[in-house]
Amino acid sequence: MLFETADTAEPSGQGLSTSPLLQNLNPEQFAAVTLPATHALILAGAGSGKTRVLTTRIAWLMQTGQVSPGGILAVTFTNKAAKEMMARLSAMLPVNVRGMWIGTFHGLCNRFLRAHYKLANLPQGFQILDTQDQLSAVKRLCKQFNIDDERFPPKQLVWFIAACKEDGQRAKDVQVRDEEGRKKVEIYALYEEQCQREGVVDFGELMLRSYELLRDNVPVREHYQRRFRHILIDEFQDTNKLQYAWIKMLAGQGEEATRGSAPMPGGSVVAVGDDDQSIYAFRGARVGNMADFVREFNVTHQIKLERNYRSFGNILDSANQLISHNNNRLGKNLRTEAGPGEPVRVYESTSDFAEAQWFVDEVRQLIR
């Protein structure tokens, strides 16, 4: 897998050397911000300024007239990150960022379904269930249908339903292997019916129903493929199967995304992520989405952000050495110009409580 350096990246757009937006970027950040309008993977190490790169790229695309504010879709993983991005954009350009499509997967899908609630078969004022609401709904269902909550604990049923939705599966799509699995699928189906009847959706449903509407409604799909000319995804290593399928649908990639009489060419996708920071496999994240993206989108522009602005050299050297033992890495080595810093100490505690106590003692000593 080949990665560009700042020297090999193609310049694109206008005003590369004169725009104040591009001042104080390091060479790798500059190359990432000024990428041409094509699919790209930015492998961004911890503390390498990826939020700055994403925000500056959006501002640069608008400043150079390559896209209007309405033609950008930027996906973050937390509401805090989305707010930070919008605040930075407001400081960079005189543009109303509140109307832009910048937010989390769930926030953007909520906005999408509010706009198309009839097509999504939802009431106009549909309510969103949080985790506790969802658990209460499953408990109510178990009581109504006399389901043994010791054999089928409600919390585990919630996890099962969420995992199915993250895989893009309705109850009818789930493969049943045994009697326990059959019962769980039956409960999933009952839960779906109850939510539809009551006009409520959980977080997984926001994603799944948005994806299904894009997949099944050609005019809606082509409208958004035409609209979003630049799609930027943060924390790409944390995306799950359904989220990646949703991105492909909007970008016009794959057989399902191009069905119709006049399939639309999708916009460019810039994915920013770090396979070394993939820690959410337990909740459905697929670090393999990064390699799939490179292959399926025929990505030719790949840039590594390896200069770290957060830590000293000794910490980075230790982290680089430790992570080097991981298999199937895309590969990078963080570096810094901040000097070596203090030597790294290793402390092994006897328990989680002892570890917490040691940490508190260290903090107390540091603030004396």
Beta strand 72-76 with 101-104 is parallel
Q: Does residue 244 belong to any structural domain of this protein?
A: yes
Q: Does residue 10 belong to any structural domain of this protein?
A: no
Cα separation values, 295 from 1, 5, 94, 302, 329, Å: 10, 20, 38, 12, 16
Asked whether residue 24 falls in the same domain as residue 161, the answer is: no
Asked whether residue 147 falls in the same domain as residue 286, the answer is: no
Asked whether residue 71 falls in the same domain as residue 220, the answer is: yes
Cross-strand bridge partners of residue 240: 285
- 241-251 helix and 105-115 helix, angle to the nearest 10 degrees: 50
Asked whether residue 73 falls in the same domain as residue 154, the answer is: no
Give the Cα separation of 264 and 192 in Å (integer).
33
Give the Cα separation of 60 and 66 in Å (integer).
9
Residue closest to 163 by CA, chosen among 248, 289, 74, 280: 280
Asked whether residue 325 falls in the same domain as residue 359, the answer is: yes
Q: Does residue 70 belong to any structural domain of this protein?
A: yes
pLDDT of 265 = 67
Q: Does residue 9 belong to any structural domain of this protein?
A: no
Amino acid in position 296: E
Q: Domain residues for 325?
A: 313-366
Asked whether residue 174 falls in the same domain as residue 232, the answer is: no
CATH number, domain with residue 158: 1.10.10.160
Q: Does residue 121 belong to any structural domain of this protein?
A: no
Chunked mean pLDDT (size 10), the chain, 368 residues:
47 56 93 95 93 95 94 95 93 89 97 98 96 96 94 96 96 94 96 97 97 96 95 95 96 76 74 89 88 93 94 93 87 90 93 96 93
Three-state DSSP at 219 gives helix
Asked whether residue 155 falls in the same domain as residue 287, the answer is: no
Q: Does residue 3 belong to any structural domain of this protein?
A: no
Asked whether residue 65 falls in the same domain as residue 184, the answer is: no
Contact yes or no for 347/358 (Cβ under 8 A): yes
CATH number, domain with residue 90: 3.40.50.300
CA 227-63-224 angle, to 5 degrees, is 5
pLDDT of 260 = 61
Cross-strand bridge partners of residue 301: 40
- Domain count of the chain? 3
pLDDT of 257 = 65
Asked whether residue 217 falls in the same domain as residue 103, the answer is: yes
Q: Does residue 5 belong to any structural domain of this protein?
A: no
Asked whether residue 301 falls in the same domain as residue 218, the answer is: yes
Structure tokens at 289: 């989405």
Asked whether residue 296 falls in the same domain as residue 211, the answer is: yes
Q: Does residue 194 belong to any structural domain of this protein?
A: yes
